[in-house]
Amino acid sequence: MLTALRQWNEPRDRREAWRLVFVYTAISVAVSAAATYVFARANGWNVGPALIPAVSIPFLVAPWMTWTVANYAIRLHDLRNEYERLAVTDPLSGALNRRGLRDFGDKAFSARMRKPLSAIVLDIDRFKSINDNFGHSAGDAVIARAVEVLRLITGSEDCAIGRPGGDELAALIVGRSLEETMILAERLRDALEHTIFFHDDERLKVTASIGVSVADPDDANVEAMLKRADQSLYAAKSAGRNRVRAAA
């Protein structure tokens, strides 16, 4: 109950702020009028004239004070949401960072018996040579563009896209079987291969090796599924790069 009351007193938008203004103004006027009425009757005063300031003052002051406090609460709510978003976001690509990806994965993993959960993990092939030959800013541009392609391919999916670190990207997809995720991963591989990456005046050709896995009923956690996807990724690299491999 206390939590619900606290949330009610912390408006998240202007609609909730106006609701708070109306309620607290009504309460202020009612309390002031009631107290004035009781005090006036107890002292034998004329109630009518006493009620005029008792009603008009809170009616004028309470909305302004409540609106000021409500706006402050809205700004705090927005700042808290922004801090929470930044805490789980990779600043370079705008994708989820390792923490954000894990949070999504933990929730989806707990529901895997109702909806299957699969993973796509990819590495940009020969990424170090991009950094060495064109500079780290070129590597950053490739990562950011690769995330855009990944978002485009998985646009209609219930999924989370993340950058666990370096040139590794991942997508956790809800509701897809291993075979369906393999088809999606192949579309991603083909899209990256045929995307022209630009940096300054340079045209960069990029490919990726991709590993795919699906959560098993016996998996202890989402990390077990991601470990198999990583193993499949290394198998794709060992097989010659620019290809998709799935965990057995």
Q: Which of 56-60, 138-142, 212-216 shows the lowest mean pLDDT across its residues?
A: 56-60
Name which of 115, 23, 154, 70 is nearest 162 in CA terms.
Answer: 154
Using the predicted structure, report yes or no on whether residue 1 has a pLDDT greater than 60.
Answer: no
Q: Is the pLDDT of residue 227 over 90?
A: yes
pLDDT value of residue 3: 55
The chain-wide mean pLDDT, for the chain, equals: 89
Averaged pLDDT, 109-118: 88
What pLDDT sits at residue 74?
83
Q: What is the DSSP string of 98-162?
A: HHHHHHHHHHHHHTTTTS-EEEEEEEETTHHHHHHHH-HHHHHHHHHHHHHHHHHHTTTSEEEEE
User: Do the strands 158-165 and 168-174 form a parallel or antiparallel pair, or are they unpaired?
Assistant: antiparallel
- Residue 180 · residue 164 · CB < 8 Å: no
Residue 73 near residue 11, CB atoms below 8 Å: yes
- CA gap 70, 76 in Å, rounded: 10
Tell me: the pLDDT tens digits for 125-176? Answer: 999 999 999 999 999 999 999 999 999 999 877 899 999 988 999 999 999 9
Helix (H) / strand (E) element for 59: namely: helix 47-87
DSSP 8-state class, residue 21: H
So what's the pLDDT on residue 4?
Answer: 52
Q: What are the tens digits of pLDDT across the range 12-56? A: 788 888 888 888 889 898 998 899 888 888 888 888 888 888 889
Whole-model pTM? 0.74
Q: Give the long-range contacts of residues 54-58, CB within 8 A, separation 24 or more.
A: 55/29, 57/32, 58/25, 58/28, 58/29, 58/31, 58/32
Higher pLDDT, 86 or 164: 164
pLDDT at residue 208 tops 80:
yes
